Homo-oligomer: A and B are copies of this chain.
Amino acid sequence: MNADPVTLREVAEEAGVSVSTASRALTGKAEQYRISKKTERSIRDVAERLGFRPSHLARSLRNQRTGLVGVLVPDVSNSFFSAIAREVTRCAREQGYDVLLVDSQESTACEEQLLGHLQSRQIEGLVLCPVGESAEHLQAFEAKGIPVVMVDRCFSQLNLTTVTSDHQSGTEALMAELLQKGHRVIGCLQGRVGTLPNNERIVGYRQSLKAWNIPFDRSLIAGDQFDELSGYRAASHLLSTHVGMTAMFAFSNQILLGALRAINERKLSIPKDISLVTFDDPPFAEFLAAPITSAKQDVPLLGKTAAELLLRQLKGHESPKNQIYRIPVEILPRKSIATCSFH
Contact = CB atoms under 8 A, between A and B. Distances in A.
Contacts of A56: 120-122
A339 to B, nearest CB: 21
Contacts of A93: 102
A53 B284 contact: no
Interface in A1-51: 1-3, 5
A127 to B, nearest CB: 13
Interface in A141-161: 143-145
A3 B77 contact: no
A301 interface: no
B119 A53 contact: yes
Contacts of A77: 79, 82-83, 85-86
Interface string A91-129: 001000011111101000000000011011110000000
Nearest to A257: B283
A76 B89 contact: yes
9 contacts: A56-B121, A57-B57, A77-B79, A86-B103, A89-B103, A90-B105, A98-B121, A260-B287, A288-B289
Interface of A: 1-3, 5, 53-58, 60-61, 66, 75-77, 79, 82-83, 85-86, 89-90, 93, 98-103, 105, 116-117, 119-122, 143-145, 228, 257, 260-261, 264, 282-284, 286-289
